[in-house]
Amino acid sequence: MAGKLSPSAQGKLAILGEFVNRVQRVHGLVEQFATSKTNPDQFVMPMTRGFSQLKMVFMGAGLDAMSQLCGSMEIASKRGLSHMQKVRILREGVGSLKFQLELEQRAIVSEEQARQTREAAADESS
């Protein structure tokens, strides 16, 4: 990276870092659901609650696409599908959430680098 990040960019990255931790928690529940041999249904309500909370957090942060994805995951976790179909859908959804969060983080860093480059060029020209 060319320079240090501005305080606003650091704040945005910190918020996204918190979202990553929350997604990790739901990912853990999905994996417990996927690998449970005896009673996988015990993880359905915590997963549903986790996706519901993530949906609200993303909506509050203005990340509507991720909020909608969490809403669809919440619905999918309650659906009456076979265990393997549910696992596949939930794993793909969590993977998509992680990917989108990583893209958001990269976008913030690249925007900050572009801003710093513009400012450096403006300083040199004046």
Per-residue pLDDT for 125 more than 90?
Answer: no
Count how many domains the chain has: 1
Enclosing domain of residue 108: 8-125
Confidence of residue 5 (pLDDT cuts 50, 70, 90): confident
Residue 1 lies in a domain: no
Confidence of residue 120 (pLDDT cuts 50, 70, 90): confident
Residue 2 lies in a domain: no
DSSP-assigned letter for residue 42: G
**Looking at residue 112, which CATH number applies to its domain?**
1.20.120
CB burial of 13-46 (b: ≥16 within 10 Å; e: otherwise) equals beebeebbebbeebbebbeebbeeeeeeeebeeb
Residue 31 lies in a domain: yes
Hey, how many other C-beta atoms are within 10 angstroms of the C-beta on 47? Answer: 23
Residue 115 lies in a domain: yes
Query: What pTM was estimated for this model as a whole?
Result: 0.84
Say if residues 34 and 87 touch (Cβ distance below 8 Å): yes
Residue 91 lies in a domain: yes
**What count of Cα atoms within 13 Å lies in the side-chain half-sphere of residue 126?**
6
